[in-house]
Amino acid sequence: MTKLTFIAHDGTHFDVDAENGSTVMENAIRNAVPGIEAECGGACACATCHVYVDEAWTAEVGEPEAMEEDMLDFAYDVQPNSRLSCQIKVRDALDGLVVRVPARQG
Amino acid sequence: MTDTIKTDVLIVGAGPVGLFAVFELGLFDMKCHLIDILDRPGGQCAELYPEKPIYDIPGWPSISAQGLVDKLLEQIAPFKPEFTYNRMVSSLEKLDDGGFRVITDENEVFEAKVVVIAAGGGSFQPKRPPIPGIEAYEGKSVFYSVRRMEDFRGHDIVIVGGGDSALDWTLNLQQVAKSVTLVHRRPEFRAAPDSVNKMYAMQERKELAFQVGQVTGLTGADGLLSSATIKGPDGDVEVACTRMLPFFGLTMKLGPIADWGLNLHENLIPVDTEKFQTSVPGIFAVGDINWYPGKLKLILSGFHEVALMAQAAKRIISPGERIVFQYTTSSTSLQKKLGVHD
């Protein structure tokens, strides 16, 4: 199991065990992390699972692909470390990953 | 006001479940008219993820969302459904004879004996960008669509977005505006490359401005805009403007359905699981928009729901008539309706 930490906008930490191959978004929904809506269900077709990747992890997580960048246009307060959590797949190298939930989704 | 359109069943929403409702209702000789806010059938399947495969449609190990919509249209074609697109149903009232009168946002009038709400996540509406206080300017100086270009003549316009709508209106309104500033959070666009090249060429010639950044604030009074604050790579920029057009895509909202006097459960419509009828007899709700204990928002669940709903609708439309349960595989009368029996 890979450990993930979600930090909700009010500062609450959610430490969860994630299965490799699942998406970061799926783990947020499964653990009822507030502020992740995932309206489209993970099809990269909305921008309501937007997260900020902790600065220490941006290199390992990597850059969004073109389609995700397009969707990020619809997100709120997009930063250089913004990602859509449905497009980040959990793997061993992400053990300990920290992501922050923005103030609002779109 | 236009002539009243009469039909047996009015279906609100032309997504996969609304489309399959035509089939099940058609087997019982009920004529259907569908209304949808989009300009084509398919709902979320067509608008959000047409090319994505769906893996849980029985009998189809994998089918693209658009592929499913195309197959459903083929399947319901024998029943000759009527479609009205680009319309939102704005009001619904009960008639004395037990039917319903439905009026669209363009004032078309429909009368139906039964109404089926298959509106999924609600109607697709322009997304409001996350700019504090923008509500106060909406309809006065902030607009989400261009109905008449003349309304923008002589204005300083800020257009926000990176898709085709944003680029197309930037190029078109530039001809009538006093000035046009396009704002997008990055220099890459989703719009057609040809429009993007034209925009950059016009920027070169100083015929319009392009600013990389995100709009973070608006200044003005009484709904009339005077400037927008744009957070760009080099800090805040203030752009004077009297009109703003944000193009941030579409979102789904329940919309006027909330005012139809139906009981609601967290923006969903509770139904029974025998008829899928709402709190108002004669109005049914199927697919993602309904709620009952154990509800799953799956297309296949919606297909099951419309089959049962059709039985109940038939009892309303043809009271007293005996409903014979038949299989399409063996019933010659059903096969005649489907046009496969000679």
- What is A14-80 written as a DSSP string? EEEEE-TTSBHHHHHHHTT-TT---TTSSSS-SS-SEEEEPGGGHHHH-PPPHHHHHHHTTSSS--T
Q: CA nearest B90: which of B107, B69, B75?
A: B107
User: Does B161 contact A73 at a Cβ distance shorter than 8 Å?
Assistant: yes
Fold of B5-124+251-338: FAD/NAD(P)-binding domain (3.50.50)
For residue B164, is pLDDT > 80? yes
What pLDDT band is residue A92 in, cutting at 50, 70 and 90?
very high
Interface test with chain B among A37, A74, A104, by most B beta carbons within 10 Å = A74
User: Does B190 contact A73 at a Cβ distance shorter than 8 Å?
Assistant: yes
What ipTM does this complex have?
A: 0.75
The alpha carbon of residue B80 and the mean position of all alpha carbons in its chain are separated, in whole angstroms, by 22
CB A100 within 8 A of CB A51: yes
Question: What token pair was written down for A97?
Answer: 């990953």
CA distance A99 to A85: 9
pLDDT score recorded for residue A41: 80
User: Does A106 contact B251 at a Cβ distance shorter than 8 Å?
Assistant: yes
Chain A interface with B: residues with Cβ < 8 Å: 39-40, 43, 45-46, 66, 69-70, 72-74, 76-78, 104, 106
Burial degree of B55 (CB within 10 A; 0-12, 13-18, 19+): exposed
For residue B306, is pLDDT > 60? yes
**Poorest-pLDDT segment among A35-39, A52-56, B21-25:** A35-39
For residue B192, is pLDDT > 60? yes
Looking at chain B, the whole-number percentage of residues with pLDDT higher than 90 is 82
Architecture of domain B128-248: 3-Layer(bba) Sandwich (3.50)
List, in order of start, the domains of chain A with CATH numbers.
2-100 (3.10.20.30)
Q: How many CB atoms lie within 10 A of CB B221?
A: 8
CA distance B151 to A19: 55
Q: Is B232 on the interface with A (CB under 8 A)?
A: no
Q: Give the distance from residue B131's alpha carbon to the nearest chain A alpha carbon, in angstroms.
A: 9
Question: What residue in B sits closest to A79 (Cα-Cα)?
Answer: B185
B49 vs A45, A72, A77: nearest CB? A45
pLDDT score recorded for residue B17: 98
Cβ contacts (< 8 Å) between B184 and chain A: which residues?
Answer: 73
Question: What token pair was written down for B236?
Answer: 């805040």
Q: Give the distance from residue B328's alpha carbon to the nearest chain A alpha carbon, in angstroms.
A: 34
pLDDT (average), residues A30-38: 93
Domain boundaries, chain B: 5-124+251-338, 128-248
Cβ contacts (< 8 Å) between A69 and chain B: which residues?
Answer: 186, 188
pLDDT score recorded for residue A73: 87
B185 vs A39, A45, A78: nearest CB? A78
Phi, psi of A27 (to 5 degrees): -70, -30
pLDDT of B45-99, one tens digit each?
998 888 889 999 999 999 999 999 999 999 999 999 999 999 999 999 999 989 9
Q: How many CB pairs under 8 A join A and B?
A: 42
pLDDT score recorded for residue B102: 97
Domains B5-124+251-338 and B128-248 are alike in CATH topology: yes
Q: Is B200 on the interface with A (CB under 8 A)?
A: no
C-alpha dihedral sign at A72, A75, A80, A85: negative
Q: CA nearest B247: which of B319, B169, B324?
A: B169
What pLDDT band is residue A50 in, cutting at 50, 70 and 90?
very high
CB A97 within 8 A of CB A4: yes
Q: Is A96 left (phi over 0), alpha (psi -120 to 50) or beta?
A: left
Q: Is B314 on the interface with A (CB under 8 A)?
A: no
pLDDT score recorded for residue B2: 63
B93 strand-pairing partners? B101
What kind and span of H or E run contains B231? strand B224-232
C-alpha dihedral sign at B202, B205, B211, B212: positive
CB B142 within 8 A of CB B244: yes
The mean pLDDT value of chain B amounts to: 94
For residue B1, is pLDDT > 60? no
User: Does B251 contact A45 at a Cβ distance shorter than 8 Å?
Assistant: no
A74 vs B48, B52, B249: nearest CB? B249
CB B326 within 8 A of CB B316: no
pLDDT score recorded for residue B69: 98
CA distance A49 to A40: 9
pLDDT (average), residues A3-20: 96
CA distance A106 to A47: 7
pLDDT score recorded for residue B342: 66
pLDDT (average), residues B101-129: 93
| Residue B200, marked binder | no
Q: Give the distance from residue A96's alpha carbon to the nearest chain B alpha carbon, in angstroms.
A: 30
More confident residue, A45 or A15: A15
| Residue B49, marked binder | yes
The model carries a pTM of 0.77
Phi, psi of B92 (to 5 degrees): -140, 130
Question: What residue in A sits closest to B51 (Cα-Cα)?
Answer: A43
Q: How many CB atoms lie within 10 A of CB B18?
A: 30
A76 vs B130, B162, B249: nearest CB? B130
User: Does B185 contact A39 at a Cβ distance shorter than 8 Å?
Assistant: no
